[in-house]
Amino acid sequence: MDRRIVVTRTVPELALEILRAAGEVVVCGQDRPLTADELKEAVRGAHGVVAMLHDRVDGSVAEAAGPQLEVVANVAVGYDNIDVEALARHRVVVTNTPGVLVDATADLALGLLLAVTRRLGEGERLLRAREPWTFHLGFMLGTGLQGKTLGIIGLGQIGQAVARRARAFGMRIAYTGRRRADAAVEAELDARFLGQDELLRDSDMVSVHCPLTEQTRHLIDERALRLMKPTAVLVNTSRGPVVDEKALASALREGRIGGAALDVFEHEPDVDPGLLELDNVALAPHLGSATIETRTAMAELAARNVAAVLGGKPPVTPVTG
């Protein structure tokens, strides 16, 4: 029997070639996310689904697909959009794409940190507006990274990659998380493990790299922001709802922290209007994994997961819960 594989949004051709070898591929070619009803309609009769991070895949989607559904491959490392427990009850395997986007996301995190601390976006806006300017020693002064403490929330693969890059800039590393990192990792990065409150108080810059769960939703809220230094910078390249955007906009507007750099947003693709009005904010439209090499590798890994499961083999990168 030919297997039906539904891809909810266009993916690179290399990934499609892998999928075509595993079954009949149907690509939803729209240039926007599917609505909930459209997603349920699209997956009817599917044996495998390649989903994007904006697709909410829960038990009702599995029921709409039918009992033949075997695998949902999420083209993202995070899987907060997937109800893993509900799909497990339907005997559906869930996979993600860890590892392949580590370097691209870490690069962007450092790029955003530099953008806000060196006022790069502000400077470009000034030039594009054709505002008059002249060089002098007090013009658009930013903040250097050397000797500053970078506090990392979540020292997983991406957090470690960010720390290595920050060390190259002469930064000191502190981190917090659910558990302490291996001694070898701490030694390599010369990283100090702190409680979250202490990390927020001590850090000059804070970079968020934790998954979105019920425990981490609004992890950075008004209380957390009040703990930070008035000169501190917050960087978020994890998931938008980890940060309370309205609280962040207020803290920035009132000068309670020095700046922020965001690649992800609480109600993506919408951005809190208060953030758009501020010069001490650097913003990017979810570009953490946006290199040709990385996005292709993500799609290929998702495709290999689907092909493995439909071929009766274990998935390459399963989500276990």
Residue-wise DSSP of 112-136: HHHHHHTTHHHHHHHHHTT------
Catalytic machinery residues: 239, 268, 286
pLDDT at 321 over 70: no
> Which one is the CATH code of 102-283: 3.40.50.720, 1.10.10.410, 3.40.50.10190, 3.10.450.50?
3.40.50.720
**C-alpha to C-alpha distance for 191 and 253, rounded to whole angstroms:** 32
Closest to 103 measured CA to CA, from 305, 260, 293: 293
Is the alpha carbon torsion for 129, 132, 135, 141 positive or negative? negative
pLDDT at res. 320: 84
**C-alpha to C-alpha distance for 100 and 5, rounded to whole angstroms:** 23
Residue-wise pLDDT for 232-291, tens only, equals 999 999 999 999 999 999 999 999 999 999 999 999 999 999 999 999 999 999 999 999
pLDDT at 168 over 90: yes
Contact 4, 46 (CB under 8 A): yes
Q: Which two tokens stand for residue 268?
A: 């993506």
Average pLDDT over the chain, rounded to an integer: 97
Contact 73, 49 (CB under 8 A): yes
pLDDT at 185 over 70: yes
Residue 299 three-state SS = helix
Residue-wise pLDDT for 304-316, tens only, equals 999 999 999 999 9
**C-alpha to C-alpha distance for 302 and 1, rounded to whole angstroms:** 22
Q: Packing angle between helix 292-310 and helix 13-20, nearest 10 degrees?
A: 10
CATH 3.40.50.720 fits 4-99+292-310, yes or no: yes
pLDDT at res. 107: 98
**C-alpha to C-alpha distance for 47 and 70, rounded to whole angstroms:** 5
Residue 58 is given by DSSP the state -
* pTM score over 0.85: yes
- Over range 64-72, report the average pLDDT: 98
Q: Where are the domains of the chain?
A: 4-99+292-310, 102-283
Position of tokens 């009769």?
45
Residue-wise pLDDT for 128-155, tens only, equals 999 999 999 999 999 999 999 999 999 9
pLDDT at 119 over 80: yes
- Asked, colleague to colleague, whether 4-99+292-310 and 102-283 share their fold, the answer is yes
pLDDT at 1 over 60: no
User: What share of the chain has pLDDT > 70, as a percent?
Assistant: 99
Beta bridge pairs of residue 73: 50, 95
pLDDT at res. 29: 76
Residue-wise pLDDT for 202-227, tens only, equals 999 999 999 999 999 999 999 999 99
pLDDT at 103 over 80: yes
